[in-house]
Every structure is written in C-alpha cells, then in structure tokens.
Structure 1
C-alpha cells in the first residue's frame, strides 16, 4: 500500500484548523511522496514532492510552481526557508546538484549557486544570520546568496563533536549560535546549544595535523575523543577528499601524494590501500615507531597477532601502525577442490572446463580490469619489490595471468546480470573474490552465498591463499616536531578499549581478537514483552527462499582463524602501476600484440617508474 500524506494546520492552542489529503490529483498509476515543507507569509505553505513544487493558500488552494512531469523531469527537490524570506530549492537534476532560490513569478529556480560540490551530500536548514545553512559529514556552513560563498562555521572535530555524518536537525539562532540534536559516541541524541568561542578564549594547545585522502570513521571518532581528553595536544584534519570532483574521484589521492612527494606533509598520515606507502618508506619519510612499542608502558606488555604485525614491518623497523585489518581471498565450494588450499592456474582452468561454464562467468560479474588488478594485488611481493627497486612483469607467471584474463569482459552488457545471492549455489559462478572483515562476515559467505562448506584457494597465479587488507595505515612523519604527541594519539588504536570496540574488522590485539572469536559462537538474545530472554534468529532471503543463518560453529571459527594466522603478505595496489598495466594490456586484449610483447613493455615502463618512485 502506498504511503498517504496529509497537510495539517494547527493554531497556537493546538487545535486543528484544517487537514488536507495530498496527492489526490495524481494520475492513475502514479504516486505521491512528500519531500519537504516551508512557509512564506507572501506565498503560504510551499510543498516539495516527487511531483514538483506547489504552494497552498487557504483561499486559493494549491498552485503548481514547478511540475516535474514537464520540467526537471526525474529530479527531486526539497525546500527550505532562508533568513531573508527566500525559499531555497535544493536537490539533483540531470545536470547534477542544484541549489537556488525559487522564483514564484517565473515558476522556475532563479539564482543558482556554483559553489556546492556535486560530490558532497548536504543537509540544509534555516535561521538567522546567513541566507541559509547546511551541513555535511565534517562541518556546518553558512551560505551568502549575494556573493555565492560558502563559509565553514563549525568543524566537528575541531569542536570536539562526535559527528561523522550530516546533522539533520538544526537551526541558527545567529551566525555564531546554533541549536542542534547532537549525538554522542553511542548515538544518544541531546538538544545542544553550539556557541562560537572567541579565539582569545580558546586554550592554546599544540596542533597535530592528520592528513589523508580518505579519513575513516574510526580515525575521526578517535580524534574527537583525543581532543576532548587531552590538554596538551589537539588533532586537526587535512582532508584531501575535499579535492575530489565529479570528473575526477581520485583528485584528492593525487593531491595528497603530490604534497607528500614535495615535502608538504602532516604530522600523521592516514593511508588506504591505494597509496604507495612502501615507496614512501623507502624514501625515509616516516618515523620508526618500534621504540615506542617497547618503551611505552601502556602497550609494552600487550600481545599482538604476530604474523599481521610482522607483515607491516620493514626489517626490524615499524613505519606504519595498522590497528585493524581484513583478509582478502578467493572462496569456492569445498566440494570443488577436495581439500586443496591453493589452486594453480591450471587447476582453475580444469575446474572451469569440467563445470562447463564460460570463464567470464566463473568469478561472477567481474570485469577484466578488476581481475587484472586483483591478480597483481594478490601477488604480494612477487611482482614488485619496492625495497630493492625491482619488478617481475615479464615472468612466465604474469604472461599466463594476462592470457587468463583475455576472456573476461571489458564492460558489462545488459544480459550479463547475475543474481549474486544465487549464482554460487547454482554453480553458474564458481569463485568468489571476497574480504573477511571479522568472523561474522564468514556467516553470509558460508550460509548464504554458497550454502555449504567452503574452501579458501587463493587468486589465479598467486602463491598465497590469502593476503592482508589493511583497514587504516597510520604513519608519523620523520619531520614531525610533535612526534610524541602523534604517538599518544596513535597508541589509542592499540589500546584494549579501542580494540575491543571493533565490530567490522579484525583487531590486531590478540586478546581482543580472541574475544571476537568467542563472541562469534555465542547466540544473541532479546527480551520479549514478558521479560523473557529469547534467542534472536538471523535470516536472509536467497531468491524467494528464506534461509536461517546459524551461529558459527567451532569448525567455522577455526577455519577463519587458520586463514588469518596463515596470512603473511599485504595486499598490494598502486594506482599508477595499475594504469600503466591497463594502458599496455589493451594492445594484447585487442589482438595487436602478444601477451609476451605486452609484458615486456610493462616490465620496461614499470622498471623506470619503480626506480623513480622508490
């Protein structure tokens, strides 16, 4: 049944003045959905919906201002009353984001702003001071209509607010005072007054800069906690994701890497998989934090998962701290491989042929470029040795990998669609490239995706059953003048408090890892209306069939544990390396050159690149 919307007016005593059902004039087969409401003395109530924007006056009734069935088709708009009485229209059209004022006479969107990023999601609210206000997942801004400028008024982290998303309920008392529903670390909301503090009243603390092309939720929350608890230091973000554009989603990564290469570095750098951390280590850009591990009394006695810690060491030095991680591997039905835990390229080919399916379908819906990237990423140090400035892309193994990838699609066609939840059960697809981000993530793989026992078998051409996918990589600049303060922040990620709080990644602290393992085998309970403790069941739909997902067994947990403890190499991805391989591989995939010729060219180009960037 479609939702019904009603416009209701009450007087100041709470008495209903009128009640009008909305959407009654919608064409047959269509529906009505309300998006926003605003009020203007001149125009009455302004409503935005999936049908467009309309006004309602008690004497005149409804008047359509913008009809989305004839103008801005397919768009969705919300309306917000600004400080000076302007009604702002915000939303998306075929041309991207739109923020503008509603022109009632022209029945169109009038002044359209040029300053709002298409890449960012904003929530708008009104109040006094600026023409209109908005929030994103990092800050609150004021917008000046005349100058078309967006001014940052409040940074969540700088203001010690544990907010990692848009504030949806706020109003401006003035341009220096806001009232909002603000969450704490446990998502309990409090009606809070936010007041700008004069600069001369702010306590002077040492600023520790933390930069990243993407700064994840855990790091942001830890920074807020650190800033609240610390009287000597304050974390300040340099967020390079603000450089991303609709035309270049990697602009932030590129700018971040360029600044690092030119020596413009923060005290702490947070990296993801796409950053060339090994190259930076070779250049001596990071501080060795191994001495802190042995001398800091807060963590000196803690035990960590040895093979994971060792994987991120450079010799006996520790230039990066990785507090949580995933394990990347390829899974298949155990019945396919009869006990093997690492398939050769020939094994893969034989199984695909025996099953009588197309190679292009064997890994589900996976494009050729992605498969090639996985092939390099899963190879660990086999293709690139950054420390010795060597590479091995003209090897027989890489030539064979290139030839294996030829049958995978360059792009999807309409008839390529596969139902992810059923294709592995039905053997329409065989091999699932996956990441385990905790013991519970194995549930869906085992009991939903495959529906039977699974084996982990490594990627085609790889010598390793699995590789380590770092959650966050935190490095301290060798140039930092606040190294001790930076360490005080980073060591929190190794604490029992933080490690025990992890739900979506494996913790690196051994005791926290063991707790996660034990919890994975415990049923969850809820309290019914009579106060009785009832076991909570978990279900998932596979096609039209409801499947119960049981609590993990000891055997399930042992299988995941063995995978974690036998992972020794870090997943390796470098955007520039990937681009060079893709550029040259196209000549083979189009039939212009042999795989060997292409691999020789790749070897030559990457040898130069690695020497110049190590």
Structure 2
C-alpha cells in the first residue's frame, strides 16, 4: 500500500465495503462515542456497560476512485437490527436499486439514501453473501447455494446443485470470479469455481495442496489460476496457484471419506499428516450420507477410512463385513495401543467381539438435578422412579425447561435413549413392550414449559435467565446434558447457580444401571480399502496424545486416557481455595466455582467409567419413531398401536440391515 488515507474522523467499531468496477466504492460503517476500559492484561472491564448503554450509529459513505467522498447518509433504525453481542457488518453489496447488508444474524435492505427498508433475521439468519463477476448476489443457505432475486430478502428460489455426492459448505466465503469462472467459493475442501452454466469445479484442493483450513481466512482471485489469501492464524499473506493437471504424487494415497460430520479438524489433520509423512498422503472427500459410501464400496471403489457421527453406520458396515477389527492393531506395537485408550469407550464400541470404530471425542449422557429434591443416592432413575418423582414434584416445577414442544419428552426419553429399546448388537427391539407403551403416554402428557425463544427483547432475556437458574430455584426437575467434559459440567453448574455438592448427577433414565456415551467423529478402517495399514497409521495420528492434547486445555472427554486425565487435573482445585470465575450472560453478571475438589473429580471420573454403552444414532430410526409418535399425539392411533407400528417397521429395517 503506497499511501494510507484517513477517511473517517470518528472511531469506527466495524465497517464493510463494496467496490465497483470503476474503482468507486461504498462503505457502511458503525461508530460510537462509547470508550472501552481495559485492565492490565488487556481485558475489557466495561463490556456490560457497553451492551446496556452504548449507542451505535451507522453511516453510508460513497467514494470515487480517487478516495474523494461523494455522498454521506446516516442509516436510521439499523441499530434496532444490530445485536451488539452477535451481529457484525460482514458485507454490503449493490442490490438492484438498493444495498443488501449481511449482519451474520440476518440481512438488511438499505436504500442508497440510507433508508432502512427491510430486515430478515428469521430464514436468513446465518447465511453468507457474495457477488459474482456479473454483479449478481449469491447466497449460501443450509440447503445450498443460490442467487438472490435482486429485490427482496427472501431465500433463493432455486438452489444450485453442488453434486450428487459431495457435501460442500461455502460458509467460508464467496468472491468475484475471473476467466472461465464467474465466482469462487471457499469451503473446507478447497476453492471451487462456479462456471457460467452453474457447475462447481474444484480448482484448488486443500488436501492435495497441504493447505489447512486456517491457512485461508479471506481470499480473492488475482488472475486466472492464482489466488491471494490472508490467514488470521498466521498473520501471513500468500498466493496460491491451481494444481497442475499432470500432478502425480509418488506416495500412496489414503482415501478418507467424511460422512456428514461437519468437522474441519479432519481436513486439517490430513494436511498435517501429509506434510510430515514420507509414505502416505491423505485425500479427503465429504459425502452427505451412508448410502453414498455404500454404493462406492459395492462398485469396488472403497475408501480406506470413513469418519462419521451416526453410530448406526458402524453397525451396518460391520455386519456387511466392511470394516477392519481394530483389536489387531491396538494389541500390537503399531500405532495406538489398548492401554492408551479410555476403557469405557473401548467397551462401548465392542461389537460382536470386534472393535470396528474409535471416536476422537465422546460426550456423556447425563441428567442434573437439585439434590434437595432428587438425592445423590440416585445415579440413575428407573422409569417408575421418574414417574414417581414427576407426580410428587412441587407446584411450579416442570420436568425440564427443554421440553417446550409436544415431541420434546419423546426425543429425550426415546430417541436419545434408544439403548433401552433397541439392541443393534443382536438386531432386536422391544418397542411393543408395556414399558414403552407407558412411556409414550407419559411423554404425551408431560406439562410443557412455554418458551420465549425467538421473542427477542426483555421477554427472551428474562426467560433465558429463568431457564438457567431453574434447577436451583426448583422450577425444573431434570436438566439434560450431553456433557463434553469436566469443563462442561463446571460451566453448566456455574450458569445454574448450583454447586457440584448441591447437584445430583445421573445417567439418562432407564431400567439398566449402565450409562451411555455419544461419540463425536468416529474413525473406521474399511476392509477392502487399498491400504489398511496406512489407514490405521492416519487414525493413530489423529487420536494420538500429541493431537488430543489440545482438547485437555478445554476439559474435553478424549479417547486418549492420558489427555482425559490431564483435562481432569487442569480443573482440579489446588489447595484450600477454589478458583472463582466471573461471567456475564444476558446482561446478568454471575460468579461460579471454576474447578472441582479432588474427591469431586474422582466421582466424575468414576461416573464416566461407568458409561459403557454407545448411544445409537440412526436417521432411519428417528424417522420411523417420529412418524408414528406424531400420529399418536394427534389422536389418530392409540399408544398400543403406536408401539406396535414402531416395532413392526423397526423389525423390517433391522432385518434388511442384519
């Protein structure tokens, strides 16, 4: 940059820019007279005051190509759409006769004179925008990518098909194209070009180029075949070129398929592994579903590794003979060994005498209760005990604040507790049992807590604060927690206002005293892949102490036992004085204990070790159960008919999969 020109006199909180082809540009800026105060370590000390009292103003400023101001307009009313905690000015674009603005939590339509015309924070919350080389606006949604209509803030009426198999997320960015591409899009896999006939082409493959996702924070096309990128993580600017067509790696390729997991960490690990390994190179493909992988295997195009979240995938592939038993590796000197891994997780993943998958992280399915009502002697409630505590609950106490839909109780007690009704190891189910019929009726009749989610303003704020403290105030009987680690339970209790000593920690209700874990990304070696040993070497790298050590800082439940125990130690009280943390939520300041005593840590560890079942996750099961349950609560069928229908349909599904 040859010269820096000051274009604003006031301190600017944030801004976004849209540049025209002739070099002129428009800037939308926010500014405030509020002055932040900092402590010695650089932490803002008056952020709560900022949230409550700071007045944000917004201005549209137009510049010609010589940086001369040619227009200035205040944008009235935009502060009402701007949430100081979650909104950002991430983009402004010419949009027909107006401008469209991306606030992260919604889209705003502003006239060129600064008039606020529309705001959509419902269906357009979390979308991303970008301009193609024709000046048209592309929008990423949860369904895919499409063009806006140049007039309204509605979702695109048509979604561009990314492909039949690839799960591509372009939330990282869309920029103007050049050459044969009208736009470029940054995803976890790489940089894609969008052709004039709306076809996506992968032009920079991050895995093959050894580029990590945090190597590129923002990017722009320089010329045909080159991209300039900036990395926030490294603070470096780089230029990337398109991979040559004749690229031919000399190392063996380990094909990794990521089935709908949504994790970018796998891609980064693939890059890191490829950078340091002399024998193997990782190629990662994201696929949307189990069926995509099954079809590839049936066609003889099996990957070497699959990564997935739904545990049902492991059981299906194992029954097909499609996965390698990892016991032969963890009992050898190759890579990870059994003693390095959490024993409860190994037991949970055991299937028909084999070990067909290993997770990176795991959650513990637990319920929290106020010990004044449900005593600590109850580390799990049978269904009869659950019904009894519910019937005898004090006036004003709800079963759970999370149960505000008529399907909520069914989701927690059935779909998140499938182990009580479904046995994947033997491919049997007992949904037609009297206990399940009774549970259906209980779920239907549970008193729902009216929610204020989405109301905004003081109503939502008051509801959220009431919900967080509901256990302490005895307005909630049970709080469900898919606990990711020791830090998670400390944080949950901190927000609730309860101390660990005042809390009963229980497994999900059921008639078995065995607790359940749910997995994050699970890794499996595909039996007829080209390189089983290389696949295991990559998995061992991903699940090693070196790679999992970072999770210890955040108190996560890791597969690696040493990292798990390090996390516990990090959150164990040292000496007689506990750590006291302070936080602000919804404008309310609260203090909480940031660690646990050694005895409490041991109690938590023992609880985790007692959780030796793997939670069943299967979209097909969910669809069957919801379909019949919705008919039941609508009054179309009885509880007995609902249970019988689920049983019948599940038996058919299990017979097809076994």
TM > 0.5: yes
- The alpha-carbon deviation at position 571 of structure 1 amounts to 0.9
CA contact (8 A) 1:369 1:410 kept: no
The partner residue of 2:272 within 186, 209, 225 is 225
Count of aligned pairs between the two proteins: 563
Any idea what the Cα deviations from partners look like across 1:48-88, whole Å, max 9, x if unmatched? Answer: 579998854458646994163579722699997877xx655
Q: 1:413 to 1:549 in 2, by over 3 A?
A: closer
Q: Aligned to 1:226, what secondary structure does the other structure show?
A: helix
Note if 1:154 corresponds to 2:197: no
Q: Aligned to 1:286, what secondary structure does the other structure show?
A: coil
Pairs within 5 Å for 1:92-491:
99=147, 115=160, 120-126=170-176, 129=179, 130-144=181-195, 146-163=196-213, 167-182=216-231, 187-200=233-246, 202-211=248-257, 212-241=259-288, 252=289, 255-256=292-293, 265-273=302-310, 275-300=312-337, 302-338=339-375, 339-357=377-395, 361-377=399-415, 379=417, 381-408=419-446, 418-419=463-464, 420-452=467-499, 453-464=502-513, 466-491=515-540
- The alpha-carbon deviation at position 584 of structure 1 amounts to 1.9
Corresponding residue of 1:527: none
For structure 1, which runs of at least 5 residues remain unmatched after alignment? 1-10, 24-31, 242-251, 524-534
Using the size of structure 1 for normalisation, the TM-score is 0.79
CA contact (8 A) 2:312 2:618 kept: yes
Q: Aligned to 2:389, what secondary structure does the other structure show?
A: helix
Corresponding residue of 2:90: none
Q: Aligned to 1:434, what secondary structure does the other structure show?
A: strand
Corresponding residue of 1:6: none
Q: Aligned to 1:153, what secondary structure does the other structure show?
A: strand
Any idea what the Cα deviations from partners look like across 1:293-335, whole Å, max 9, x if unmatched? Answer: 2223443474322222122112432111224311111111122
- The alpha-carbon deviation at position 516 of structure 1 amounts to 1.6
Q: Aligned to 1:355, what secondary structure does the other structure show?
A: coil
CA contact (8 A) 1:332 1:456 kept: yes
Q: Distance in 2 between matches of 1:422 and 1:385?
A: 37
- The alpha-carbon deviation at position 210 of structure 1 amounts to 1.4
Any idea what the Cα deviations from partners look like across 1:259-297, whole Å, max 9, x if unmatched? Answer: 567776422111203643223222222111211122234
CA contact (8 A) 1:379 1:462 kept: no
State the superposition RMSD in angstroms: 4.2
CA contact (8 A) 2:404 2:449 kept: no
Q: 1:318 to 1:256 in 2, by over 3 A?
A: same
Q: Distance in 1 between matches of 2:197 and 2:132?
A: 15
Corresponding residue of 1:507: 558
- The alpha-carbon deviation at position 564 of structure 1 amounts to 0.7
- The alpha-carbon deviation at position 428 of structure 1 amounts to 1.7
Q: 1:412 to 1:259 in 2, by over 3 A?
A: farther
CA contact (8 A) 2:62 2:69 kept: no
Q: 1:399 to 1:450 in 2, by over 3 A?
A: farther
For structure 2, which runs of at least 5 residues remain unmatched after alignment? 31-57, 74-93, 100-108, 163-167
Q: Distance in 2 between matches of 1:233 and 1:551?
A: 42
Any idea what the Cα deviations from partners look like across 1:25-44, whole Å, max 9, x if unmatched? Answer: xxxxxxx97432314427x2
Any idea what the Cα deviations from partners look like across 1:78-113, whole Å, max 9, x if unmatched? Answer: 997877xx65545589999665799xxx9999x999
